[in-house]
């Protein structure tokens, strides 16, 4: 088991290295010149030459990548091209805001979806199961920005229960912050809960056809007890994996939601960097997103191994 866990961790590190190369290469091959885009059309050839040298664009790409990645893993993402501010200093409060929103949505979505998935599996073919399938399928089929605008229309514009813009500050009270970010949190919850609900239901029902489950029924155990005691522990691995994937989506895929609600998170920061062609900011945000996604998937792989009874108790 320890060898398998170590292999998963090493693969995660290698994946992060490969993704960092792709991020750097993708930003380097963008059409146009970064120096020209930043300085504008009025820049002289001499000014462009000096600015390119200042940015290090006169050096080979592999040298610049090595310096960038080495600094990034040490917490040094460089300075933004637009305002010359330290990127780590600018990105830290925004990353905290994104993690707060993702955690807010996860606290609602994870227990709700797992509980409804187990309830649907227990009541397979009944009204509760059919309603869960219909609602989850409808939620998956609707784009997140459309759900966000509907929530804004009804709960912010018409009913005026929540603000349409989720602007938060560092010294804002927790109760006020929860109220302000309620609509984006609900939007994210509706998106990820549907996937987790369907995977929980499918994973549990796939175990229900196993011989030891049939033996449990023959012993006279109720369906609820069989599902919770015998089926759920053996179906935990795929459930943990889909939960980790959706938690990663809450961090990585929050860009659209942050733009819609003008939420000061890392997704909004990345969009601003793209619009201003601030490549160091875009690279830093992309690497943070990749690191969060890969870390959560690696943790899911390790937890799936630890909760697997056949690996914990090999024959």
Q: What's the CATH number where 279 sits?
A: 1.10.3720.10
**R_g of the chain, CA atoms, integer Å:** 24
pLDDT of residue 183: 92
| Residue 156 near residue 163 (C-beta atoms within 8 A) | yes
**Mean pLDDT confidence for 10-23:** 90
Residue 276 DSSP code:
T
Q: What angle do CA 127, 133, 138 make, to 5 degrees?
A: 125
- Euclidean distance between CA atoms 124 and 133, whole angstroms: 11
| Residue 263 near residue 184 (C-beta atoms within 8 A) | yes
CA atoms within 13 A on the CB side of 60: 3
Q: What angle do CA 46, 51, 52 make, to 5 degrees?
A: 100
**Mean pLDDT confidence for 266-287:** 86
pTM of the model: 0.81
Residue 86 DSSP code:
B
Q: Which domain holds residue 297?
A: 87-312
**Mean pLDDT confidence for 44-52:** 74
Higher pLDDT, 287 or 236: 287
**Mean pLDDT confidence for 226-243:** 78
Residue bearing tokens 């875009």: 282
With cut-offs at 50, 70 and 90, classify the pLDDT of residue 209: confident
Residue 193 resides in a domain = yes
Residue 314 has pLDDT above 80, yes or no: no
Residue 94 DSSP code:
H
Residue 72 resides in a domain = no
With cut-offs at 50, 70 and 90, classify the pLDDT of residue 225: confident
The number of domains in the chain is 1
Residue 169 has pLDDT above 90, yes or no: no
Q: Which range is least confidently modeled, 80-94, 109-123, 211-225, 300-314? A: 300-314
Mean residue pLDDT across the chain: 83
Residue 79, SS3 per DSSP: strand
- Euclidean distance between CA atoms 286 and 254, whole angstroms: 13
Residue 65 resides in a domain = no
pLDDT of residue 184: 92
Residue 135 resides in a domain = yes
**pLDDT tens, residue by residue, 194-207:** 888 888 888 888 88
**pLDDT tens, residue by residue, 104-145:** 999 999 888 888 888 888 888 888 888 888 888 888 888 888
With cut-offs at 50, 70 and 90, classify the pLDDT of residue 38: low
Residue 54 resides in a domain = no
Residue 190 resides in a domain = yes
- Euclidean distance between CA atoms 154 and 142, whole angstroms: 17
E strands, the chain, are: none
Residue 149, SS3 per DSSP: helix
Residue 237 resides in a domain = yes
- Euclidean distance between CA atoms 93 and 304, whole angstroms: 32
Adjacent-strand bridge partners of 79: 86
**Mean pLDDT confidence for 203-218:** 80
Residue 240 resides in a domain = yes
Residue 34 has pLDDT above 70, yes or no: no
Residue 86 has pLDDT above 80, yes or no: yes
- Euclidean distance between CA atoms 199 and 204, whole angstroms: 8
| Residue 312 near residue 245 (C-beta atoms within 8 A) | no
| Residue 273 near residue 282 (C-beta atoms within 8 A) | yes
Joined tokens for residue 44: 């002289």
pLDDT of residue 31: 63
């Amino acid at each position: 088991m320890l060898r398998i866990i170590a292999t998963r961790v090493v693969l995660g590190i290698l994946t992060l290295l490969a993704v960092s190369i792709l991020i750097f290469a993708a930003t380097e091959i963008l059409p146009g010149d970064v120096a020209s885009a930043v300085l504008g059309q009025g820049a002289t050839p001499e000014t462009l030459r000096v600015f390119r040298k200042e940015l290090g664009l006169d050096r080979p790409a592999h040298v610049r990548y090595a310096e960038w990645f080495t600094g990034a893993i040490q917490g040094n993402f460089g300075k933004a091209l637009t305002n010359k501010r330290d990127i780590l200093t600018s990105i830290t409060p925004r990353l905290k805001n994104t993690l707060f929103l993702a955690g807010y949505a996860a606290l609602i979505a994870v227990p709700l979806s797992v509980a409804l998935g187990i309830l649907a599996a227990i009541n397979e073919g009944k009204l509760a199961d059919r309603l869960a399938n219909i609602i989850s399928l409808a939620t998956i089929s609707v784009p997140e920005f459309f759900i966000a605008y509907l929530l804004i229309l009804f709960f912010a514009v018409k009913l005026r229960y929540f603000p349409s813009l989720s602007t938060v500050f560092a010294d804002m009270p927790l109760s006020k912050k929860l109220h302000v970010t309620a609509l984006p949190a609900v939007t994210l919850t509706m998106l990820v809960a549907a996937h987790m609900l369907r995977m929980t239901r499918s994973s549990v029902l796939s175990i229900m056809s196993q011989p030891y489950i049939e033996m449990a029924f023959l012993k006279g155990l109720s369906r609820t007890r069989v599902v919770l005691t015998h089926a759920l522990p053996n179906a935990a691995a795929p459930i943990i994996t889909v939960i980790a994937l959706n938690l990663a989506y809450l961090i990585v895929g929050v860009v659209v939601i942050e733009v819609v609600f003008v939420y000061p998170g890392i997704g909004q920061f990345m969009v601003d960097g793209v619009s201003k062609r601030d490549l160091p900011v875009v690279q830093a945000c992309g690497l943070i997103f990749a690191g969060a996604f890969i870390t959560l998937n690696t943790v899911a792989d390790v937890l799936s191994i630890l909760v697997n009874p056949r690996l914990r108790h090999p024959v």
